[in-house]
């Protein structure tokens, strides 16, 4: 058997952890630059606050209902996510973290009362982290996803166990196909055209026929919906083959200096990610564009080859700046730029070349020191001159919560 544990309204719940006064209140979280709504507490959902809606369109409505609004605080969410995942690892030797707020746990070979074990997981996460979750348990990944949907949206105690065909078929009859893991909008439309509307209808369809009409993935889904495990745990996620850091600017800019500062900041962040997975990159992809809704739309990109495979921020920043200078066009108001590190390879298997330059040991020491200082004292404790003196992401974040878990200054105070 397999469990899928998924945090309820993850980002909104993270904000409520340190603000117990907001626990039963409507809370929402906005995307970068305070653009769109990306998380809603269940009270906000009840008020009918729409998901992924531009904030400015519903701002008045939110005020009327006294909805509490936060800017996205991804460092806080990342930290809380770590606490949740660490807690969950105690419940099974085989797990797969599926996203920032979801984890699969494999219970094979464990003798358990599944309902009870699910409740213990739920209670422990509440007790240790104050994170509300839904727990779905079933014989396959696809079914445990469906069980999780039931745990959250149907009358359950937050735990749903589908341990017999009777139970999962009961649920499948009540859910449309787009609630099935891996069935998106386009696939739904194709299956609808074949007369398949409910999860149950898909589960009962002929796998060979559906495979011919769609793909082998859907055949696998059908088998999983019938309790036959086809998708195993991915316990060791592969290192990233490409690393991208891109942002829309809080305010559009026509200044070349400012554009270079932005790209330097993104390059530094990308290089830090590259080092965290112990890799080198050999090429950079750079792009910049203006607003497509304004006249004179301009968009351009280029790829730069680095002199040797590297994870050195200084080298990556300096080439990123050279590239961005070429993309810059005087008179254009830029809205967004970004960098992608390409041709990434694992350092452990990298063959140095005696006759060509390569990354020096001194550089490694320096980068390690920078990363350690920033981990210990908070991001932006040490930055590169090219990033500018403010050292902050120049995003609109008017409603940012304190860095409760990553800055000594923001440590919550408790009065008793």
- Among 3-11, 221-229, 361-369, 387-395, the segment contacting Mg ion (CB under 5 A): 3-11
C-alpha 254/C-alpha 337 separation (Å) is 12
Q: How far is the CB of 117 from Mg ion (least distance, A)?
A: 20
Q: Print the binding letters for residues 101-120 with Mg ion: x by CB under 5 A, - otherwise.
A: x-------------------
Nearer to Mg ion, 7 or 151 (CB): 7
Is the CB of 7 or the CB of 14 nearer to Mg ion? 7
CB of 66 to Mg ion, least distance (A): 24
Three-class SS state of 363 = helix
Q: How far is the CB of 132 from Mg ion (least distance, A)?
A: 10
Single out the segment in contact with Mg ion by CB under 5 A; choices: 5-13, 210-218, 300-308, 351-359. Answer: 5-13
Which residues within the stretch 75-104 sit at the binding site for Mg ion (CB under 5 A)? 101
d(CA 261, CA 256): 9
Query: How many residues at the interface with Mg ion, by CB under 5 A?
Result: 4
152 binds Mg ion (CB under 5 A): no
DSSP β-ladder status, 2-7 and 102-106: antiparallel
User: Six-digit token pair at 245?
Assistant: 């850091």
Helix (H) or strand (E) holding 37: strand 37-40
Strand partners, 70: 29
Nearer to Mg ion, 15 or 219 (CB): 15
Tell me whether strands 159-161 and 279-290 are parallel, antiparallel or unpaired.
Answer: unpaired
Q: Which residue stretch of 6-14, 157-165, 176-184, 185-193 sits at the interface with Mg ion (rule: CB under 5 A)?
A: 6-14
Residue 35 DSSP class: -
Least distance to Mg ion, CB of residue 9, Å:
7
Query: Binding to Mg ion by residue 6, rule CB under 5 A?
Result: yes
Least distance from Mg ion to the Cβ atom of residue 175, Å: 17
Secondary structure class of 158 (helix, strand, coil): coil
Q: If you write DSSP's letter for every residue of 247-311 in order, what string do you get?
A: EEEEEEE--HHHHHHHHHHHHHHHHHHHHHTTEEEEEEEEEEEE-TTSSS--EEEEEEEEEEEE-
The pair of structure tokens assigned to 268 is 């530094």
Which tokens in the block code for residue 184?
Answer: 């998106």
As given in the structure block, the two tokens for residue 58 are: 């519903």
Among 1, 7, 245, 284, binds Mg ion (CB under 5 A): 7
Three-state secondary structure call for residue 171:
helix
Q: What is the closest distance, in whole angstroms, from the C-beta atom of residue 410 to Mg ion in the complex?
A: 25
Q: Cβ of residue 102: shortest distance to Mg ion, in angstroms?
A: 6
Which residue lies nearer to Mg ion by CB, 148 or 383? Answer: 148
Closest to Mg ion by CB, 10 or 76: 10
Chain residues in the site for Mg ion (CB under 5 A): 6-7, 10, 101
């Amino acid at each position: 058997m397999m469990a899928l544990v998924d945090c309820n309204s993850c980002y909104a719940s993270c904000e409520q952890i340190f603000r117990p006064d907001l626990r039963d209140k409507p809370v929402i979280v906005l995307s970068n630059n305070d653009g769109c709504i990306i998380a809603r507490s269940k009270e906000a959902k009840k008020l009918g606050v729409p998901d992924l809606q531009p904030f400015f369109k519903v701002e008045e409505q939110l005020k009327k209902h006294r909805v509490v609004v936060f800017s996205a605080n991804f460092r806080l969410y990342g930290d809380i996510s770590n606490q949740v995942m660490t807690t969950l690892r105690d419940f099974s030797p085989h797990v797969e973290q599926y996203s920032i707020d979801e984890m699969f746990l494999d219970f094979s070979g464990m003798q358990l009362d599944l309902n009870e074990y699910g409740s213990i997981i739920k209670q422990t996460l509440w007790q240790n982290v104050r994170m509300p979750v839904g727990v779905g348990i079933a014989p396959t990944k696809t079914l445990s996803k469906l069980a999780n949907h039931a745990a959250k949206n149907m009358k359950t105690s937050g735990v749903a166990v589908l341990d017999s065909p009777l139970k999962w078929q009961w649920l499948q009859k009540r859910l449309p196909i787009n609630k099935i893991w891996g069935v998106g909008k386009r696939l739904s439309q194709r299956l609808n055209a074949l007369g398949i509307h409910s999860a149950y209808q898909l589960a009962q369809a002929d796998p060979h026929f559906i495979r011919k009409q769609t793909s082998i993935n859907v055949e696998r889904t059908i088998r999983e919906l019938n309790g036959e495990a086809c998708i195993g745990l991915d316990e060791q996620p592969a290192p990233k083959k490409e690393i991208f850091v891109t942002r829309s600017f809080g305010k559009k800019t026509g200044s070349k200096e400012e554009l270079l500062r932005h790209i330097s900041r993104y390059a530094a962040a990308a290089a830090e990610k590259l080092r965290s997975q112990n890799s080198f990159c050999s090429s950079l992809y750079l792009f910049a564009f203006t607003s497509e809704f304004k006249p004179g739309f301009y968009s351009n990109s280029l790829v730069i080859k680095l002199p040797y495979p590297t994870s050195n921020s200084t080298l990556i920043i300096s080439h990123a700046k050279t590239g961005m200078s070429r993309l810059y066009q005087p008179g254009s108001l830029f809205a967004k730029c970004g960098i992608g590190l390409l041709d990434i390879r694992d350092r452990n298997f990298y063959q140095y070349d005696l006759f060509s330059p390569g990354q020096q040991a001194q550089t490694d020491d320096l980068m390690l020191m920078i990363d350690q200082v920033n981990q210990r004292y908070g991001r932006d404790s040490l930055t590169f001159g090219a990033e500018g003196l403010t050292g902050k992401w120049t995003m609109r974040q008017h409603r940012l919560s304190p860095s409760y878990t990553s800055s000594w200054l923001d440590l919550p105070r408790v009065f008793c």
